């Protein structure tokens, strides 16, 4: 445990003539108040506030903040009072200690409203004085360093809380080293297996590449010295959590990561930064798209540095950060680099309130605190406070904060869910722009609305916010349900008409109890999906009706139609492949496709058809029936804005089914005698059936063929394509899906 004189020595190392009386009094008072209290580790409780104070001396903070660190648990955990602290240490220190005392534990497994209220208290206390946050972060860092002494069932909650709340707050204040350590410690408890795996891999790499790192460092120093640039070069290895986050976001394996090592180059002035950049880019190859100049355009938290990535010796990608010593201190300590010091006369040298990162945080907190209910406050806080942000405006001047990469769709949902659901277009800074435009700081966004709009499901992959994504998903589900209900209505109307019975919503409503359904819409949707058969509905509506099996009518192939049976067991028509009248194929079975209603005409798309094995989608064509497309068909793009027309269907075919299905392939082959014969022989030998052939000669040496053929299923088609592609006359072969 640190001694009293050791604490004074630490502070004296960066403050000339510190207030020793204040620090001594706080040390003795806190030690006496905590008395015989102990921590979970068995250590004296006073060791905790003392370690918090020690962390703050590493951040070079003022005497008042160190005193608050020593006292921060006295009101909450001892018999000390605010009045007593005011009398002994002054009202300002008393206010800071009380501010910390009021912060209740943020319990991420508690109710959202309670969690949000506790978070609100923390943020409001921070907005009063940034030193509340600095002490709180140091407090959390020491707690995380000693988390192994806490009971196992509490570790996960505390680690998650640290990862979601405190680490992002440290990052927002530019305190990157502190954030890295908090994330690393939290990661160790949240995902111990991944932590152990990555840490072990990093240790092996460090040993393996030790000579390489030394070589790069010496090479850098040597080349800069040659150009008369005085510089300090230090190597660094990425943290385990940083690597894990990159692996997740980019779907990479550990072996695929090539930029694990980085180097910091610290020079004397800004001019030296750009001269260093010139030397680096002149001597090594630059990785495209990996250059950022945060000196000319600082980050919101005042961070300044030049980032670039080069290809070093052994083809190893190496990240470089180039900055001045002053920039380095801000990068290391963030807002703490602007600590309030006093000279020997007690005059403040610099105020934390002058720091732009803190000013930005205060402004955001003020916006968050206005008018939201607790749940919305929590959701908006994580959106606005803990992500890289862009700030946009409504036409009336309201500020909407969104994560980087957000679109006008995200903006609309941030304003209100109804605004997002009815969004059909937007104006950005007065100009009509696509709704997928990425917004920038300061943009004014006006949403164009239509009450007839349903958000396209494709928007879900475009938006950047969880709120927008969940709202779009919910609206799409409702639209699909409505579409199934409409399909179910048409099926029942035709079924009742065929049975000679009258149909109305009142008749169906009266039959709901016998169908074990509670609502009309649920029942109609189930009929549309094939979950309820029309005979069951008829029997429920008219119990005296005798069930009659419909006579199966065998369709003629030459008419271009063949039988299709739904999951409900009913017959309807579907166009077959485009067979010529003289080529008749015997049909012994119907082909069930699950998910399609019973009395609706169904056909395959003309853009390449579909074969069993394909994932398929049904598109409802008003007045015509349903068209089946393979999921990869580009023809589906024209329906992206009409999710209500999409049906989820799938194959259900017996193994002995004798039916073929239409497909189309495109071949680029050598323009030489016998080429067509070789390709036709492959198709024939694999039991394929050519229905149509188109050929053209795009250039003199090659022929482009488009062949329509009948195949049994996707495996059959894939085998034919693979064997055609293996022939020496073939340059390229691919399936055409639209």
Q: How far is the CA of 676 from the CAs of 50, 421, 608, 667, 705, in angstroms?
A: 86, 54, 21, 10, 9
- The single residue listed with the structure tokens 């679109």 is 407
Q: How far is the CA of 36 from the CAs of 5, 29, 138, in angstroms?
A: 22, 14, 23
Handedness of CA 101, 142, 50, 31 (dihedral sign): positive
Measured N-to-C along each axis, helices 82-89 and 91-101 cross at an angle, to the nearest 10 degrees, of: 150
Q: In the beta sheet, which residues pair with residue 321?
A: 264, 307
Q: What whole-number distance in Å separates Cα of residue 4 and Cα of residue 596?
A: 80
Distance of alpha carbon 707 from the chain centroid = 42
Q: Are 239 and 180 in contact (CB under 8 A)?
A: yes
Q: Is 117 marked active-site?
A: no
Q: Active-site residue among 77, 215, 259, 293?
A: 77
User: What does the H/E/C string look like for 30-48?
Assistant: HHHHHCCCECCCCCECCHH
Vertex 689: Cα angle to 684 and 692 (nearest 5) = 115
DSSP line for 638-659: GGTT-GGGEEE-EE---TT---
User: Under 8 Å CB-to-CB from 222, ≥6 apart: which residues?
Assistant: none
Tokens at 498, concatenated: 């065929």
Q: What whole-number distance in Å separates Cα of residue 665 and Cα of residue 718?
A: 10
**Phi-psi region at 251: left, alpha or beta (left = phi > 0; alpha = psi -120 to 50):** left
Q: What whole-number distance in Å separates Cα of residue 385 and Cα of residue 377?
A: 11
Q: Active-site residue among 43, 76, 460, 521?
A: 76
Closest Cα to residue 129, out of 95, 86, 101, 103?
95
Q: What whole-number distance in Å separates Cα of residue 456 and Cα of residue 423?
A: 10
Long-range contacts of 351-355, Cβ-Cβ distance < 8 Å, separation of 24 or more: 352/130, 352/131, 353/130, 355/130, 355/302
- Phi first, then psi: what are they for 394, rounded to 5°? -80, 165
Q: What whole-number distance in Å separates Cα of residue 230 and Cα of residue 469?
A: 51
Q: Is 76 marked active-site?
A: yes
Which active-site residues does the annotation give? 76-77
């Amino acid at each position: 445990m640190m001694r009293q004189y050791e604490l004074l020595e630490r502070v004296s190392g960066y403050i000339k003539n510190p207030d020793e009386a204040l620090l001594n009094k706080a040390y003795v008072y806190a030690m006496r108040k905590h008395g015989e209290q102990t921590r979970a580790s068995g250590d004296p409780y006073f060791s905790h506030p003392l370690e918090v104070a020690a962390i703050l001396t590493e951040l070079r903070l003022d005497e008042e903040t160190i005193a608050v660190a020593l006292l921060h648990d006295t009101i909450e955990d001892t018999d000390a009072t605010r009045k007593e602290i005011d009398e002994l240490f002054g009202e300002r220190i008393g206010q800071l200690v009380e501010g910390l005392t009021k912060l209740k534990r943020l319990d991420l497994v508690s109710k959202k409203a309670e969690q949000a209220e506790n978070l609100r208290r923390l943020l409001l206390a921070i907005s009063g004085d940034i030193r509340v946050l600095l002490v709180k972060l140091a407090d959390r860092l020491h707690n995380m360093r000693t988390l192994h002494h806490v009971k196992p069932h509490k570790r996960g909650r505390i680690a998650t809380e640290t990862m979601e709340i405190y680490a992002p707050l440290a990052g927002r204040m530019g305190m990157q080293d502190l954030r890295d350590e908090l994330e690393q410690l939290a990661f160790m408890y949240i995902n111990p297996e991944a932590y152990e795996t990555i840490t072990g891999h990093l240790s092996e790499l460090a040993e393996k590449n030790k000579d390489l790192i030394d070589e790069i460092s010496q090479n850098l120093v040597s080349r800069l010295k040659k150009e008369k640039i005085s510089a300090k070069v230090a190597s660094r290895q990425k943290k385990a959590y940083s690597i894990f986050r990159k692996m997740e976001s980019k779907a990479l394996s550990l072996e695929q990561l090539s930029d694990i090592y980085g180097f910091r180059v610290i020079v004397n002035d800004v001019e030296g930064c750009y001269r260093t950049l010139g030397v680096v880019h002149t001597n090594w190859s630059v990785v495209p798209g990996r250059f950022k100049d945060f000196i000319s355009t600082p980050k919101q938290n005042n961070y300044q540095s030049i980032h670039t990535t080069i290809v070093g010796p052994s083809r190893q990608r190496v990240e470089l950060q180039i900055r001045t010593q002053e920039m380095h201190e801000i990068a290391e300590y963030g807002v703490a680099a602007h600590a309030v010091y006093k000279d020997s006369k007690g005059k403040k040298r610099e105020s934390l309130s002058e720091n732009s990162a803190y000013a930005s945080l205060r402004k955001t907190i003020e916006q968050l605190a206005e008018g939201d209910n607790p749940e919305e406050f929590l959701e908006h806080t994580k959106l606005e406070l803990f992500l890289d942000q862009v700030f946009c405006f409504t036409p009336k001047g309201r500020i909407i904060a969104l994560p980087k990469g957000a679109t006008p769709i995200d903006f609309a949902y941030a304003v209100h869910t109804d605004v997002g659901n009815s969004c059909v277009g937007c104006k950005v800074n007065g100009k009509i722009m696509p709704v997928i435009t990425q917004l920038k700081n300061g943009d004014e966004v006006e949403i164009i609305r239509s009450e007839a709009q349903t958000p396209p499901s494709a928007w879900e992959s475009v938006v950047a916010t969880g709120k927008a994504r969940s709202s779009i998903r919910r609206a799409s589900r409702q639209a699909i349900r409505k579409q199934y209900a409409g399909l179910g209505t048409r099926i029942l109307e035709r079924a009742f008409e065929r049975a000679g019975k009258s149909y109305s919503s009142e008749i169906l409503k009266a039959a709901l109890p016998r169908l074990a359904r509670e609502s009309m819409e649920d029942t109609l949707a189930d009929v549309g999906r094939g979950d309820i058969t029309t005979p069951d509905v008829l029997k429920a509506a008219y119990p005296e009706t005798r069930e009659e099996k419909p006579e199966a009518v065998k369709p003629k192939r030459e008419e271009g139609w063949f039988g299709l049976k739904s999951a409900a067991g009913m017959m309807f028509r579907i166009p077959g492949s485009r067979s010529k009248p003289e080529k008749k194929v015997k049909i012994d079975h119907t082909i069930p496709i699950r998910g399609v209603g019973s009395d609706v005409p169904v056909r395959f798309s003309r853009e390449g058809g579909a074969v069993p094995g394909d994932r398929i989608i049904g598109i409802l064509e008003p007045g015509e029936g349903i068209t089946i497309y393979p999921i990869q068909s580009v023809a589906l793009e024209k329906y992206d804005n009409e999710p209500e027309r999409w049906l989820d269907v799938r194959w259900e075919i017996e193994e002995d089914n004798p039916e073929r299905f239409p497909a189309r392939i495109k071949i680029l082959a050598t323009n030489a005698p016998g080429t067509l014969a070789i390709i036709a022989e492959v198709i024939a030998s694999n039991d394929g059936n050519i229905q149509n052939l188109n050929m053209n000669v795009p250039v003199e040496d090659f022929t482009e063929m488009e062949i329509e053929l009948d195949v049994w299923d996707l495996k059959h088609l894939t085998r034919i394509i693979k064997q055609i592609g293996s022939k020496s006359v073939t340059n390229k072969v691919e399936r055409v899906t639209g």
